Chains A and B, each alone.
Chain A
Amino acid sequence: MEALKQAFNFSDFQRFDLLVAGSTAIFLLLFPLLPHSSFAMSTLIQFLMFSLYGMGWNTIGGYGGQVDLGKAQYVGIGAFTTAVMLIRWDIPFWVSMPTGMFLAICWSFIIGYPLFRLTGHYFAIATIATSLILKDIFEVWDFVGAARGLEISPIKYTSPDFLRLIFKEDMYYYYIILAFFFIGIFYVNWFRKSRLGFQLRSIKDNEDVARSLGINVHWAKIKTYAVATAFVSMVGSFHACYIKNIEPEDTMNLDLSILIALMAMLGGAGSLWGPIIGAAVLIPLKSYLKEYLGAQVGFVGIDLILYALIIMLISAFEPRGIWGIIEKIRQRRGK
């Protein structure tokens, strides 16, 4: 009960921020009823998925300051668990999603235990390495479709199928991921004020001091890593049903891991709104650049070049992200 009250308590934000957040929420709820193109709809679904990935990354990377560049492996675990269970045994999404989360958490404990002995660059590269190990295994493992991956054929199922999450219209997918999105926000809002959240932030500030205060640093990191993992694998399961065609090369590659971390950093790592702002800027930018400059004007690769320039500018000149810029402006006004 107390936890729920904490989750719905946003009183430490300024009224203006809450106004913006509230109107955005109303817009997101009403969006499918407004006139829109299917391209805009799929971009918004992408935005919601990536905000959730970013929120997951943010718990360990933003609040905890552990640079994790291997989140894609959990996207893969979630996606493949759902796809395998649906295709081979016809098990509904609402069972396979928690199973995927459970498997992802188990894997996160197995690799997290040795991983969190490392710090800095060693940790970052080790997370990449574990992700690539898993990807290589999936690429030769016939049970999960090897390098060809798995395809959920929608023809077999009557549409709309809420149990298995197979729909023809994107609108249903939209509302389901939107529900996840709201749950995610409330969860992170609770998390950052929970005991673990405070422990984690003290670890980020100074690990030695945190240890001397009696915090079990290693265990706190592992627990938070499991939380982050659960988030990411949950969206991975959704991804499997939404995209319907998953390959290790798409769901578990390094670019996806980096994109997830980038999302949070662009918006502002370590703040509740950061990953959402980051995804709101980056995902539409990426998909519209690709659509208009890449596909229509014919500059193949120009979208990625611009995208690379944005990454470079942000990381060189404003590593605290957009949220950092907003706070800077506010401080200047306050003076």
Chain B
Amino acid sequence: MSILLSSIVAGLLFGMVLAFISLGLTIIFGVMDIVNFAHGEFLMIGMYTGLFTAQATGIDPLLTLPVAALVGFSLGVICYYGFIRFLLRGPILAQLLGTFGLMLLLRNLALMIFGSEDRALHKGILVGKSFELGMGVIIPATKAVVAGLSVVAFLAIWLFMNRSRVGKALTATALNAQGARYMGIPTERMNALAWGIGVATVTIAGALIVNFWPVNPFVGILFTMIAFTIVALGGFGSIPGAFFAGIIVGLITEIPGFWDFITYTFNVGWMADVPMTSLKYMWVYLTYFVIMVLRPRGLFGWKH
């Protein structure tokens, strides 16, 4: 029973972490209909930023978030004005391959500068701490904090998009860019803002997850694919959708845990032979595929 409970709790927590990672992707997609392959690479940059800032200044990793946000925001704006602006005129294929090129560039620059070895944080308020909920459920403090901040970030972004003046202008750009332009909204600047915010949220997530996930230049691709799945599942551009889809995907990544639970509870021999842990992410993609077929706009799709 405790396996089941801790799987569910771990799935929920990891789901919130994944939702946090996907938030930036869904903002960017929502505003300008572009799928960003380099998303995981921005996460990686956030992770390196958090790691090096903490090591260089000696402050606690949790306090590096403003640095990560600043780096992410400027990086996003630079990418938009320097590159993405030109992609938006082209066909879908050019957009997909263009951001893929950006991903290759960032990944290999990181490889050249930082080398290919794994780096991890070894100290900080949170590292190594955990608390017990009872019934054998243990929550690592790092994940709990990331999950909590994820909820905060979602609320903040949601409020920003729906309540503030700039956010409303962003939403208007998302719904109808041409109409927004007629109303005097500087859509070009709104797109840049969306890139800034989108990349900033993912670098913050990166600076947070480096507390429990080692970083190397290749860490991005797995998270990119999962973030794609989450954003597609939640409906491209839907912010609440991304949150719930993140939790669903988090629970799905714990299928090996449920599998173990059934295997040991009912003592099924053949189930123990299936290498379920290696198939962890296959279930994510499979769920994406099935939901796409049944509901092609995603669970909470709102555009088109």
**Which A positions have Cβ atoms within 8 angstroms of B?**
61, 67, 69, 114, 117-122, 124-126, 128-130, 132-133, 136-137, 139-140, 254, 258, 261-262, 265, 269, 299-302, 304-305, 307-312, 315-317, 319
Contact = CB atoms under 8 A, between A and B. Distances in A.
B50 to A, nearest CB: 23
B257 to A, nearest CB: 17
7 contacts: A121-B96, A125-B288, A126-B288, A136-B285, A137-B279, A258-B100, A262-B100
Given A308-B103, A316-B86, 8 more contacts: A117-B293, A121-B232, A124-B96, A129-B288, A136-B281, A140-B278, A304-B108, A312-B83
A118 B292 contact: yes
Contacts of B278: 136, 139-140
Contacts of B100: 258, 262, 311
Contact of A311 (B33, B90, B98, B112): B98
B102 interface: yes
Contacts of B243: none
B42 interface: no
Those 9 A-B pairs whose CB atoms lie nearest each other, nearest first: A311-B101, A315-B98, A319-B94, A308-B104, A316-B86, A136-B282, A308-B105, A319-B90, A312-B101
Given A136-B279, A261-B93, A305-B112, A312 B292 contact: no
Interface in B25-77: 29, 33, 35
A125 B101 contact: no
Nearest to B98: A315
Candidate in A120, A130, A316 with the most chain B CB atoms within 10 angstroms = A316
Candidate in B87, B91, B101 with the most chain A CB atoms within 10 angstroms = B101
A299 B108 CA distance: 11
Contacts of A299: 112
Interface stretch (B125-133, B195-203, B221-229, B247-255): B221-229
B236 interface: yes
Interface of B: 29, 33, 35, 83, 86-87, 90-98, 100-105, 108-109, 111-112, 221, 225, 228-229, 232, 236, 275, 278-279, 281-282, 285-286, 288-289, 292-293, 296
B101 A122 contact: no
- Give the interface SS of chain A, mostly helix, strand, loop or mixed: helix
A304 B104 CA distance: 7
B93 A308 contact: no
B204 to A, nearest CB: 24
A136 B292 CA distance: 20
Contacts of B282: 132-133, 136-137
B103 to A, nearest CB: 8
B226 to A, nearest CB: 11
Contacts of A308: 101-105, 108
Given A140-B275, A261-B97, A129 B112 contact: no
Nearest to A142: B275
Contacts of A132: 225, 281-282, 285
B96 A307 contact: no
Contact of A262 (B33, B97, B112, B236): B97
A261 B177 CA distance: 29
Contacts of A126: 288-289, 292
Contacts of A269: 93
Contacts of B87: 315-316
Contacts of B103: 308
A140 B96 contact: no
Candidate in A118, A132, A300 with the most chain B CB atoms within 10 angstroms = A132
Contact of B228 (A61, A128, A319): A128
Given A133-B285, A261-B97, A125 B232 contact: yes
A311 B94 CA distance: 9
Contacts of B98: 311-312, 315-316
Nearest to A139: B278
A140 B279 contact: yes
Contacts of B102: 308, 312
Given A132-B281, A254-B221, A305-B109, A121 B92 contact: yes
A67 B35 contact: no
Contacts of A261: 93, 96-97
Nearest to B109: A305
Contacts of B86: 316-317
Nearest to B282: A136
Contacts of A316: 83, 86-87, 90, 94, 98
A164 to B, nearest CB: 32
Contacts of A265: 93-94, 97
Contacts of A119: 296
Given A133-B282, A133-B285, A319-B91, A311 B293 contact: no
Contacts of A258: 97, 100
